[in-house]
Chains A and B, each alone.
Chain A
Amino acid sequence: MSRALTFHIGAIIVLAVLQFILPVYHSGNLARIMVLAVYAMGYNVMFGYTGLLSLGHAMFFAVGMYGAGLSIRLFDMAAAPAFGIGIIASILFSLGVGLLALRTIGVAFMIVTLMFSQAIYLLILYFNPLTRGDEGFVIPQAVRQVAGFDLSDPTTRYFAALLLFAIALLGMVWLVRSRTGRVLVAIRENEERARMLGYDSWAHKLFAVVLSGTMAGAAGAAYGLLFGSVGASFAEVPFSILPLLYVLLGGPGTVIGPFVGTLFMFYLRDISSSFTDAHLLVAGIVLVLLTMYARRGIMGVVRERWAKWLP
């Protein structure tokens, strides 16, 4: 087994053990962080590995969340099939977005993703009778059961989040070491050269958008089912910026980086908000400092200095 695989499996084992060690508050936080890290890992596929900067990633998260949530609210579906609907909705939606948005590049791509995301947010508000608009709705505790496991139970929720996180993490380890993953990096570094070498860069970029959107959608569906509420704030612009911050902090183009960035940002806000109302200012200053002195993010610096084998 390679060092990279050992490291990431080890990280999953450590997280599993932490459930039994950490105080309740922190294990609850970690469950949330793992789900959000899947969202960030999805973002990393597009931004960190393929070089596609999206400013509207919340739309994918929201499509997964509402796909699952509305299946339960409108069709009385059980949690497991609703989760499946959330993922299918994410695949189809990200495919549609990819087909349209990839006709643009650079700044235009950023604007198009931002506009698509805003359209999704406004659609949620427009269809208020179905979605309850900006208020959102609750997924009842009784529905949040899978194969006899109650997703609202703290231990079950933690391990459900860990399962999703582990699949995403190991999937990413496999992807970045695969031929497809290397082509994505080649596109990020120099798309023209990749094309000249005979790779279909457009198809690879479309794959990256669909995979990224699906991971974000899976995180959204899981978030709704694990924490019991669905709301339009998850489709707003600030929620699109969060995964960008997570990835920039943790290390773009590193597999574990998005998790580290999510963990860092979560506790930065949690701790700083206990001392000051200006917690966003604190986050901003830390981000500026990190951008100035650790431009490759936390795990990017670790890889550069101590662990060149880190994928």
Chain B
Amino acid sequence: MKPEKRDNVIASRRKVLKGMAAIGAASTMPGLVPFAQAATDQPIRIGFQVHRTGIGAAYGRWYERTTNAVAKYINDNGGINGRPVEIIAEDDGTDPKRGAEVVEKFATQHKADIAFGTLFSHVVIGSAPRAGELKIPYFVVSEGHHVASGMLNRWTLQPGITDVKSQVQAMAPFVAANLGKKVTMIFPDFAFGHDHRDYFSAAIEKQGGNVIAKIAIPPTETSFTKYFAKIPRDTEVLYHVMVGPSVLTFVKEMGEFFGPSRPEIFGFIDSLEAVDLKTPGLEFLEGTYFWEGNPRYAQKNQTEYDRFYRAAVGVDDNGASIDDPRDVSTYAHMWGCWETLNVVKAGMEAANYRGPGDRAALIEAVEAMTDMAEGRDHPQGAKIFNGRTHQVFGHQYISRVNGGRLEVVHRTSIEDTFYPDEVDYTKMSF
């Protein structure tokens, strides 16, 4: 029996030595050093609330691709505090009721460290109260002003994408200086459209212009010609923001109504995210202007960071999938997922995050952030984070349609997007 025992000991020693040699070899490989040091640690579990079905599915598909890409990027560079990132995705159906249930599932069943990734505002508003009650950090990528307005709670943050209020007001100086000062607005008659109406009206007045007509389109509308007849003749700029499947009809009917003599036209790309600008019927958009959160088409002065990010998420120079040129991305928005998870990484490392017991410390670490330099972690551009309002501010892009491509004609300063604080979340208890 003894020799056998000895053999076992030798065998186990050999195994240990082999294991140590393997770890040693792995430690010399780039990107694996921290994993090797934290080999026994569990992954950081990111609960990803994704719109796989419902009205947000087109956005959700690209949000998911971007999230998987940034998780790979983080893991390739050593993970977070030496621990790999694991994405746990759950479909919320773009439904606030299900969204709240998904957040509960992340917190209590999946034991996720954070919840992340929600886009549509009504889902955020339905889910955030539960995140606050369950005390799980909730990093949204929504653009909504709901975070900075003070409506939500200390556990909800938006550090990776700018909000609609800052985007809209930053457009006014360019519109007034280059396109005209008498503006007619066409917008959907629900909260998203009303935000545009209210924030842009105030901003253009500060630039010496004014909105001479506000035309609200009911959400169930499918034909728009009768609304175009309400546009005043002295309109210099038509500001439009439409969402949903009827946008193609909207553009087509707008072209038929105006013909060759049209005012300057400015819109938000939200209408045409995931839509090919060369789609028949969109020819009328030639020469018109769009807000973009991040330029869909690779520009002549493309940064190395955009080049890197574009390749990582699998998007070509035209903003479409590398695998399928017909699969157009939601490039103006999806970068928010990339940057948000990089902020989470930075926050967790600053807080020396070890587990759910450090969630409050993570929030405080993110609240303490201010400047975020342009780079691979922030390929859209530099940012300034406001810890009091839990909202990040950044550059906005204005592009003109030239030959069916969007070419950037103006990049706002970050300061153009600032507005006075409406809340101080840091004064709220956890």
Contact = CB atoms under 8 A, between A and B. Distances in A.
Interface in B112-155: 121-122, 125-130, 132-133, 144, 146, 151-153
Among A122, A135, A137, A274, find the residue whose CB has the most chain B CB atoms closer than 10 A. A135
A279 B275 CA distance: 26
A273 B130 CA distance: 20
Interface string B218-260: 1110000000000000000000000000000000000000000
B163 interface: no
B152 to A, nearest CB: 7
A29 B125 contact: no
Contacts of A24: 108
Interface stretch (A105-113, A124-132, A184-192, A208-216): A124-132
Contacts of B1: none
Contact of A233 (B105, B122, B146, B153): B122
B122 A134 contact: yes
Contacts of B91: 273, 277, 279
B125 A135 contact: yes
Interface in B194-238: 194, 218-220
A227 interface: yes
A94 to B, nearest CB: 22
Contacts of A274: 90
B133 A141 contact: yes
Contact of B129 (A28, A29, A129, A141): A141
Interface stretch (B95-103, B332-340, B364-372): B95-103
Contact of B100 (A132, A227, A273): A227
Contacts of A137: 125, 151
Given A122-B218, A138-B152, A133 B101 contact: no
Interface in B60-78: none
A98 interface: no
A133 B194 contact: yes
A25 B90 CA distance: 15
B283 interface: no
Interface in A195-229: 227-229
A128 B152 contact: no
B29 interface: no
Contacts of A257: none
A246 B152 CA distance: 32
B96 A136 contact: yes
A231 B122 contact: yes
B153 A136 contact: no
Nearest to A276: B91
Given A25-B105, A231-B122, A135 B97 contact: no
Interface string B178-203: 00000000000111101000000000
Interface residues on B, range: 35 or more
Chain B interface helix/strand/loop/mixed: helix
Contacts of A139: 129
Contact of B191 (A28, A133, A228): A133
Contacts of A233: 95-97, 122, 126
A134 B126 contact: no
Interface string B44-59: 0000000011000000
B146 A126 contact: no
B130 A227 contact: yes
Contacts of A11: none
Nearest to B219: A125
A152 B126 contact: no
A229 B100 contact: yes
A176 interface: no
Contact of A29 (B101, B130, B144, B151): B101
B97 A23 contact: no
B123 to A, nearest CB: 9
Contact of A125 (B90, B95, B100, B189): B189
B28 interface: no
A32 interface: yes
Given A29-B101, A126-B189, A152-B133, A229 B194 contact: no
Contacts of B151: 137-138
Given A25-B108, A138-B151, A277-B52, 7 more contacts: A32-B101, A132-B125, A134-B122, A135-B146, A135-B191, A229-B96, A229-B125
22 contacts: A32-B101, A122-B219, A128-B189, A133-B190, A134-B190, A134-B191, A135-B144, A135-B146, A136-B126, A137-B125, A137-B151, A138-B128, A141-B129, A141-B132, A228-B130, A229-B127, A233-B126, A270-B105, A273-B91, A277-B53, A279-B91, A280-B53
Which 7 residue pairs spanning A and B have beta carbons closest together?
Answer: A228-B129, A25-B108, A133-B191, A25-B109, A135-B191, A24-B108, A134-B190
Interface of B: 52-53, 90-91, 95-98, 100-101, 104-105, 108-109, 121-122, 125-130, 132-133, 144, 146, 151-153, 189-192, 194, 218-220
